[in-house]
Chains A and B, each alone.
Chain A
């Protein structure tokens, strides 16, 4: 598994980072509206994917319900905007989303990890989360609050970010630049945070956990606590990505469904898990592929996506970023 975070020399990496940042910053000025919205959505979904990678790629815990926390984030902001309105209400909504997510993850994590539930059983329980939240989201009894199948719709979703009183900007469904740059800034902050986390001793311990949990426990580590902490962090970040996506895509129970939750896993697998960049690249690639394929093959595209995914897992399970390492090995063995 190649670590793109240490690929090349320091100087090459610095140049690459600057180039990428410039490209991302300049993109909306040259792109068309449709693509700007698309990329904005993809940026939000990348944050989601990166947060799951912390859990799966680094710690070895595969959550089949990570989209649920994305939904908690978006519904929290949506509901806050629906019932309240005051300067800075959007920030409160985002904070509520993140807090609810972290608290839920901590409670769930406490019972799961102290109960020694891991591996497949962890997958199953997180999968069960999707069923629970999907029914709650669609529940007719809660229709007047949550909007059922349609979710939260309406101009109340438009909100202001920026600095209340000093400089504020409006986010609506058509404020393309505002949405794009908000998503971008959040993405960069989250990426920097995850990078720092992964490079810290805490990050190394997570990798050790994935590698050999028993040994870690016998060295004096309360492994359950570590799992709870990373689970809470990952779910908090997922909620953040959901909140940021609010005017960009509809806030409805689809995100609680199996299809969405499985998709996140696919994006990570295609891009390369256990590398923070991989999930972002995978999200970009797979989402664009879906759009291109669905316009070329109206009925076959789902099948083709499935085939593509199977091919990736069978022939290149390390994902796209693993290709680099493979090519290097090939070159060396033929030299």
Chain B
């Protein structure tokens, strides 16, 4: 078996009196499209924070492609090939679509080359056009991002994080606040990009999960409750209890 894309070993994090992540073990294979579900407060977003270096764990390790990235700062995690799409669209509102994508495209460059810029970076430009196709925003490069709809901003954000051909993309509720139509569009976009990279998606939307989910991990109170295909999870009574019965602790 090929080495895992990302492995979480015995990860733990406590905030004050609350054990948010509890000795969590998780392994994701390269090229997988893994969905993570769980009730609110299960620790899903915290998990992403730990992987991307936004917070440090109390115990445990995050191993990406065989390399221990547990204590790397977010910009280094990004340079290592892991990108993140936030729950609330996180883009540069005051700039245009094209400017947003160009900034995303220069993420790995040093400051010097950004001040004394030479317009020979055509490969970066081609990539930008490619990305605009994937996220269905072609031809609208000069529009100001703050005029975009919620769904369009989500897609723009996905497009931005694709600039450096990441190997792992973390999507935090990519369809949050979207219409049914946009949700379908998003699932198509995600299916397309997951062909060339590993993707981990936190989601609640059942239709979306039915459409996309290959393998699902259910989190509850900071630990893995169950794992399996969507059908297996749907039929799992323990999972049902957690969502319906004991929900709202």
The chain A residues found within 8 Å of chain B, CB to CB, are 197, 200-202, 204-205, 207-208, 211-212, 214-223, 225-226, 229
Contacts and interface: CB of A to CB of B under 8 A. Distances in A.
**A218, A226, A229 pick with most chain B CB within 10 angstroms:** A218
A220 B79 contact: yes
Contact of B78 (A205, A211, A218): A218
Contact of B90 (A200, A214, A223): A214
Interface string B95-128: 1000110111011100100111100000000000
Given A204-B95, A211-B92, A211-B93, A220 B108 contact: yes
Contacts of B108: 220
A219 B90 contact: no
Contacts of A201: 102-103, 106, 114, 117
Contact of B94 (A202, A211, A218, A223): A211
B118 to A, nearest CB: 11
Contacts of A221: 75, 107
A217 B114 contact: no
7 contacts: A197-B115, A201-B103, A202-B115, A208-B92, A214-B86, A218-B83, A219-B160
B241 to A, nearest CB: 36
A225 B107 CA distance: 13
B200 to A, nearest CB: 15
B199 interface: no
Nearest to A208: B92
Given A200-B117, A211-B95, A212-B92, A219 B107 contact: yes
A211 B90 CA distance: 10
A218 B115 contact: no
A151 B42 CA distance: 64
B74 A205 contact: no
B91 interface: yes
Contact of B91 (A207, A212, A225): A212
A171 to B, nearest CB: 32
B167 interface: no
A205 B52 contact: no
Contacts of A225: 111
Given A200-B114, A204-B99, A225-B111, A219 B104 contact: yes
Contacts of B95: 204, 207-208, 211
Contacts of B79: 220
- Among A197, A200, A207, A212: residue with most chain B CB under 10 A: A212
A219 B91 CA distance: 11
Contacts of A220: 75, 78-79, 107-108, 164
Contact of A226 (B78, B111, B117): B111
B52 A218 contact: yes
Contacts of B78: 217-220
Contacts of B117: 200-202
Residue from A197, A200, A205 having most chain B Cβ neighbours under 10 A:
A205
Contacts of A218: 52, 74-75, 78, 83-84, 90, 161
A180 to B, nearest CB: 31
A201 B106 CA distance: 9
Given A200-B114, A217-B75, A226-B111, A205 B91 contact: no
A223 B107 CA distance: 11
A223 B93 CA distance: 18
Contacts of B52: 218
Contacts of A200: 114-117
Contacts of B114: 200-202, 205
Nearest to B78: A220
A212 B104 CA distance: 13
A277 to B, nearest CB: 19
Nearest to B106: A201
Contacts of B93: 211-212
Nearest to A210: B94
Which of B75, B84, B91, B161 has the largest count of A CB atoms less than 10 A from its CB?
Answer: B75
